[in-house]
Every structure is written in structure tokens, then in C-alpha cells.
């Protein structure tokens, strides 16, 4: 009697784009609140430093959800995990839409962040399904979806809030999560667990990497400071746009997300420069771009052209740094890239939550000047950490360049 093994699931072209769109829909949940913070504040009669906790809680939740859920993709059926998370984030989004108080809103936003880590699971899932010759194409498609989710979330949020109120943003996001929970339940193949170690053992190994690799700690700190500077601007932009001479609302704040799309164009250039020269070379340029952005903000923020120039510089610098920093991280331990990247993403969004928290506090105390000083301070800390350790001895060309 002969037995036949199950055929290996494959990644079709339409499933690839479903996963890309699903990743964008998931990651957008982190950024919906930034253009509508002032509207939320008016509903709950909250000061900027109080309502800023909504953005902070979402990013803290995302950093918390990374080690909680992403490693589970190695231990339980991944289709089940992804479907569950989309359903869970839909519930969290509904709770946010129904929030009767600011405290409720902050708690629900934390749960949105915890459960919206789906894109990190889908990237690994898609590459497992793809054939070796389609790995690059697959990662590119998923990251395109993620980038579009980041860029369009603020624009969609601002437009909807301006015309239908901020609660409508969360109702729409919840509906999208339900749709993709259903679509992925129907379209994803059965993907059982494949890990040979325990969940506790995996968590221990992640912590061991932090202890053993000083360069990992350095890169993660630098990346965290970049995202802190980025979040500081985007969290407080809506407050600036409501002051003279602008008097703009959530819609205008959201449209600035499209201005930042120019930054997306540097991703490919940054990758090529990292390969040709080194990731450190790209990060040096990125430091200059983000510092320049904050200098423009500090002098010309009350002219519309100044804000536009600053946004382009900021997004270009942060995008370039993201590409280069991830290149450095992934070169450290090729055999442990998933675990190293988990440490990196936790640090990255931890920095973002710190930037949102301190930016709203700075705005409450010193208005826009305080936000600009904070952004410059983050980048000076990044520069000090970046320069404190030169290239370390390593095995292999990619590690030496990192």
C-alpha cells in the first residue's frame, strides 16, 4: 500500500496581492489616529498631552504584540493565527469606535496595537509559500502593501473624520478587518506549525541575542531614535495645523501623508547604496536628512512650503535609515534573522511610542518649538550611539559592512 504526501502549498499571483493588501490594511491601524487626535481631544475635552496617549498606547501595544504573537507563527497553524488576529483587531477597533471616555479610548488603542501585528506574520508566511526564485518579488509585493498602508492611513483617516467624524474611521477599519479575516480564512492554505523548540525556549533565545550582540543593541537604539523623531512630528502635526496661520482640520493633516510619499522613493536607492558602499554610509546621510528636516520645521513651519519641504526630508531620512538599519540587523546572525528582526521591531515601535508620548508633552509645555527641540534631541542621541562604535570585526563581507 502506497502513501502520498500532501502537495506543498504554493503562492499564486492573486494570493500574493491579497496578502500584500491585507498587510497594508493591518499596518494602517497603527496610523489612523494621528490626524484625528485633535478631534478625539475635543470629544473628550482632553488636552493634547492627554489625547496623545492614544497614539502612544497604539505603538506600545504593537511593540508588546510583536513578541507575544509573531513567534506563535512557528507553533500553531498560521492560517488560524492570522484569521484570529484579524477578528481580534476588528473587536478592538469596534471598542475604540464606541469609546465613552478617553481612558477607554487609550485602553482600546493599546489592544488595537497588540492585535495588529499581522503584517509581520504575513511576510514570513508569504516567503514560506513562495518558490526560491520568487522570494524577492514576494517580499517586494508585501512591503509595497505595508508602505501603502502607512502612507494612505493618515489620508483616509483625515478625510473620513472631516466628513463623518472620527468614530467612522474606526468603524470602517473594523469592517475591513472582518472582510480580510473572512477572505484569508477562505484563501490561505492550511499551514501547520513547524518549530522544533518550545515557545519559552524561543523567547529565551531572543533575549540571548540581545545580551550577546552589542551591535544589535546599538542598531536597535539608533533605529528607535529615528522612529521617535518621526512619530514626534506626525503625532503633533494636527495640533500645529489648527493654530494660526493655518486653521486646518483633520483632512489637511491627513493629506500631508501623501506629501510624505516622496520618501518612499528612496527605499530602492538606499538599498543599492547599502550594497555598493555600506549601511553605515546610508545612515550617515539619513541622520543629515532628518536633522535638516527638523531645522526646516523650526524656522519655516509656519509657511506651508516649509512644512512640505520638511515632511519630504523627514520621510526620506527615516525611510533610508529603516532600510539600512534592517540591513545591518539581518547581517548579524543570518541563521537567526527572524529572532533578530523581532528584537529590532520591538525597539523600533518602542521608540515610536516614546516619541509620541514626549512630543505631546512638549507641545503642551512649549508648543512647536518644544517639538522641534525634541526631534533634534532624538537625532543627536542617534548620532552619538551611531558614532560610539565603529565597524566591529565580523565574519563575511555583509557583516563587515554593517
CATH 1.20.1250.20 fits 11-194, yes or no: yes
Alpha-carbon distances of 162 from 158, 166, 246, 254, 288, rounded to whole Å: 6, 8, 16, 10, 35
DSSP code string of 111-149: HHHHH-THHHHHHHHHHHHS-GGGHHHHHHHHHHHHHHH
Does 11-194 match 197-402 in CATH topology? Answer: yes
- The domain ranges of the chain are 11-194, 197-402
| Secondary structure of the chain as H, E, C letters | CCCCCCCCCCCCHHHHHHHHHHHHHHHHCCCCCHHHHHHHHHHHCCCHHHHHHHHHHHHHHHHHHHHHHHHHHHCCCHHHHHHHHHHHHHHHHHHHHCCCCHHHHHHHHHHHHHHCCHHHHHHHHHHHHCCHHHHHHHHHHHHHHHHHHHHHHHHHHHHHHHHHCHHHHHHHHHHHHHHHHHHHHHHCCCCCCCCCCCHHHHHHHHHHHHHHCHHHHHHHHHHHHHHHHHHHHHHHHHHHCCCCCCCCCHHHHHHHHHHHHHHHHHHHHHHHHHHHCCHHHHHHHHHHHHHHHHHHHHHHCCCHHHHHHHHHHHHHHHHHHHHHHHHHHHCCCHHHHHHHHHHHHHHHHHHHHHHHHHHHHHHHHHHHHHHHHHHHHHHHHHHHHHHHCCCCCCCCHHHHHC
State the maximum Cα–Cα separation within the chain, in Å, rounded to a whole number: 82
- Residue 224: how many CA atoms within 13 Å on its side-chain side? 21
Q: pLDDT (tens digit, 0 to 9) for every residue of the chain, 402 residues total?
A: 444 455 567 778 889 889 989 999 999 999 999 999 999 999 999 999 899 999 999 999 999 998 888 888 777 888 999 999 999 999 999 999 999 999 999 999 999 999 999 988 888 788 778 777 676 677 667 777 887 888 789 899 999 999 999 999 999 999 999 999 999 999 988 877 666 677 778 788 888 888 989 999 999 999 999 999 999 999 999 999 988 889 888 888 888 878 776 666 666 676 677 767 788 888 999 999 999 999 999 999 999 999 999 999 998 899 888 878 877 887 787 667 677 878 888 999 899 999 999 999 999 999 999 999 999 999 999 999 999 865 443 433 344 455
* Residues 127 and 139 sit within 8 Å (Cβ to Cβ): yes
* CATH number for the segment(s) 197-402: 1.20.1250.20
Closest residue by Cα to residue 187 from 81, 79, 265: 79
pLDDT for the residue 190 = 81
Amino acid at each position: 500500500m502506497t502513501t502520498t504526501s500532501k502537495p506543498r502549498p504554493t503562492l499564486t499571483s492573486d494570493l500574493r496581492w491579497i496578502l500584500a493588501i491585507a498587510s497594508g490594511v493591518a499596518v494602517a491601524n497603527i496610523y489612523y489616529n494621528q490626524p484625528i487626535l485633535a478631534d478625539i481631544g475635543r470629544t473628550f475635552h482632553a488636552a493634547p498631552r492627554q489625547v496623545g496617549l492614544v497614539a502612544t498606547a497604539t505603538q506600545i501595544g504593537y511593540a508588546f504584540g510583536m513578541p507575544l504573537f509573531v513567534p506563535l507563527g512557528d507553533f500553531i497553524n498560521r492560517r488560524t493565527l492570522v484569521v484570529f488576529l484579524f477578528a481580534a483587531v476588528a473587536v478592538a477597533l469596534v471598542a475604540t469606535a464606541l469609546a465613552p471616555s478617553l481612558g477607554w479610548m487609550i485602553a482600546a488603542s493599546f489592544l488595537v496595537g497588540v492585535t495588529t501585528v499581522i503584517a509581520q506574520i504575513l511576510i514570513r508566511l508569504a516567503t514560506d509559500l513562495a518558490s526560491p526564485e520568487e522570494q524577492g518579488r514576494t517580499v517586494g509585493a508585501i512591503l509595497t502593501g505595508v508602505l501603502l498602508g502607512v502612507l494612505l492611513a493618515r489620508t483616509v483617516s483625515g478625510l473620513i473624520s472631516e466628513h463623518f467624524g472620527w468614530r467612522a474611521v474606526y468603524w470602517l477599519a473594523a469592517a475591513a478587518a472582518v472582510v480580510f479575516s473572512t477572505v484569508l480564512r477562505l484563501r490561505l492554505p492550511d499551514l501547520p506549525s513547524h518549530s522544533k523548540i518550545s515557545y519559552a525556549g524561543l523567547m529565551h533565545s531572543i533575549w540571548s541575542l540581545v545580551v550577546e550582540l552589542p551591535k544589535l543593541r546599538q542598531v536597535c537604539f539608533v533605529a528607535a531614535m529615528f522612529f521617535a523623531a518621526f512619530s514626534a512630528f506626525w503625532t503633533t502635526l494636527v495640533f500645529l495645523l489648527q493654530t494660526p496661520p493655518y486653521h486646518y482640520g483633520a483632512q489637511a493633516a491627513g493629506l500631508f501623508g501623501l506629501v510624505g510619499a516622496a520618501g518612499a522613493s528612496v527605499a530602492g536607492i538606499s538599498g543599492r547604496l547599502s550594497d555598493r558602499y555600506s549601511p553605515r554610509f546610508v545612515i550617515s546621510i539619513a541622520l543629515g536628512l532628518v536633522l535638516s528636516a527638523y531645522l526646516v520645521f523650526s524656522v519655516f513651519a509656519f509657511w506651508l512650503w516649509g512644512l512640505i519641504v520638511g515632511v519630504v526630508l523627514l520621510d526620506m531620512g527615516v525611510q533610508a535609515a529603516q532600510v539600512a538599519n534592517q540591513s545591518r540587523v539581518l547581517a548579524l546572525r543570518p541563521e537567526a534573522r527572524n529572532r533578530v528582526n523581532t528584537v529590532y521591531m520591538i525597539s523600533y515601535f518602542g521608540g515610536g511610542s516614546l516619541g509620541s508620548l514626549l512630543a505631546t508633552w512638549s507641545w503642551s509645555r512649549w508648543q512647536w518649538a518644544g517639538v522641534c527641540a525634541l526631534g533634534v534631541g532624538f537625532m543627536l542621541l542617534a548620532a552619538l550611539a551611531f558614532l560610539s562604535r565603529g565597524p566591529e570585526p565580523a565574519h563575511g563581507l555583509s557583516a563587515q559592512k554593517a
